[in-house]
Structure 1
Amino acid sequence: MASDNTLADKELIVKLRSGSTKAFSEIYSRFSEPIYLHLRKKIDCREDARDIVQEIFASLWQKRSMLPSDTCLSAYLFAAAKYQAINYIAHLRVSESVIQDLAKRLHAATAPTDYLARERNLSAVIETAVADLPDKMQVIFRMSRQDQLTHKEIAKDLNLSETTVKKQVANALKILKPKISTTISILITTIYNIF
């Protein structure tokens, strides 16, 4: 005989497949936090773990009509979390590898004049983006990245909690990333074309 939880899963899937937002909300409230905690064991960044949870549930909603009615929700969602974590870690490793390779190429080669101009342009873009941050966030971000102080040291210097410092740095990165990513992509593409 099937357990009550399995029956509940089957009922939720039937309702979800028919587009019930109530069923989706129930599934989200039941599984989002356990999946987040599972991802946090594998991923250091809280924000990235939260983003992955959102992606998993967005995918569940998009693929709801294709779910077999006998799907075990916890197995399905935790498997999705596992594969998302693997992709995330693989992406980080590839990014680190590309950056290291790029650094080696730059170190080994004489930088052409146009590269130096692009580097100055990138520095200006970054500086402008940092200068546009709110004052408190800007100070914390500069202490973290330019002065290379730890969150604990910054918190002590500014008489703030470490959590506040971490949030300010994370928020600064979220604001800065889209502003400078295009410029970085252009610079990397140009450098790879040079070599």
Structure 2
Amino acid sequence: MGLIYESTSDTELLGLLKSGDRLAYTEIYNRYKLVLHTHAYKWMRDREEAMDIIHELFTVLWDKRESIQFSSSLSGYLYISLRNKIFNRVSKKKFEAQYIDSLQEFIQKGHCITDHRIREKQLSELIEKQISALPAKMRQVFELSRKSNLSHKEIAEQLQLSEQTVRKHIQHALRILKSKLGLIIFLFLFTP
């Protein structure tokens, strides 16, 4: 008699998934799709978009099954992955909406945006506004790192801080800017 997947634990299913077992993958999908869809729908308020995100999530799960590191449980991994996908989608939509509003405003004023430098300037102003809203010490550390291109060690010496404190300030600043500006802008501008 074959394996009964419905009664197999998540841990066993993960092992089977990593070895390419499609039935284990199907069981994981069937076990979690509804609860994940409900969670995604609460955020997206669009059933089709929620299903798209779930399908993306499970496609990645299958495609990267051999290399994915599960630091927590299967359910923990799925929830965190779903949350990240929702965050990325919401950030992208928010940025696109702001850009469309801005574009519409220029069109209504009779200006035609043909020069990408205008958009770059708007983007720069948006970024500068968010950087200036950072807490004072964090902003100072961040600007020395990104604008003056100083190393963590040089910043630590200049501001009489530990390198670990400098690193934490930069990490926190990037986290804040990432949430404020959206993942697309963040990846475009701040990744080395």
TM bucket normalised to smaller:
0.5 to 0.7
2: CA distance, partners of 1:194 / 1:17: 48
| Residue deviations 1:68-98 (CA, integer Å, cap 9, x gap) | 4675110000111101111111111011011
- In the other structure, the counterpart of 2:92 is 91
| Residue deviations 1:100-144 (CA, integer Å, cap 9, x gap) | 110111122355xxxxxxxxxxxxxxxxxxxxxxxxxxxxxxxxx
CA gap 1:103/1:21 in 2 versus in 1, 3 angstroms? same
- Aligned residue for 1:65, secondary structure, equals coil
Single out whichever of 78-87 and 68-77 deviates more from structure 2: 68-77
- Quick one: which amino acid aligns to residue 93 of structure 1? K
CA gap 1:70/1:47 in 2 versus in 1, 3 angstroms? same
1:19 aligns with 2:20: yes
CA gap 1:110/1:79 in 2 versus in 1, 3 angstroms? closer
- Quick one: which amino acid aligns to residue 60 of structure 1? L
1:107 aligns with 2:100: no
- For structure 2, which runs of at least 5 residues remain unmatched after alignment? 1-5, 119-192
CA gap 1:99/1:11 in 2 versus in 1, 3 angstroms? same
- Quick one: which amino acid aligns to residue 26 of structure 1? E
Q: TM-score, normalised by structure 2?
A: 0.53
Post-superposition offset of 1:9: 1.3
CA gap 1:110/1:81 in 2 versus in 1, 3 angstroms? closer
Identity %: 28
- In the other structure, the counterpart of 1:74 is 75
CA gap 1:191/1:46 in 2 versus in 1, 3 angstroms? farther
- Aligned residue for 1:14, secondary structure, equals helix
- Quick one: which amino acid aligns to residue 12 of structure 1? L
- In the other structure, the counterpart of 2:64 is 63
Post-superposition offset of 1:31: 0.4
Post-superposition offset of 1:63: 1.2
CA gap 1:88/1:70 in 2 versus in 1, 3 angstroms? closer
- Quick one: which amino acid aligns to residue 27 of structure 1? I
RMSD: 2.3
CA contact 1:13–1:67 (8 Å) conserved in 2? no
- Quick one: which amino acid aligns to residue 110 of structure 2? A
Post-superposition offset of 1:43: 0.4
CA gap 1:67/1:108 in 2 versus in 1, 3 angstroms? same
Paired residues in the alignment total 112
Post-superposition offset of 1:64: 0.5
More helix by share: 1
1: CA distance, partners of 2:69 / 2:111: 59
Q: TM-score, normalised by structure 1?
A: 0.52
- Aligned residue for 1:64, secondary structure, equals coil
- Quick one: which amino acid aligns to residue 38 of structure 1? H
- Quick one: which amino acid aligns to residue 106 of structure 1? I
2: CA distance, partners of 1:35 / 1:73: 12
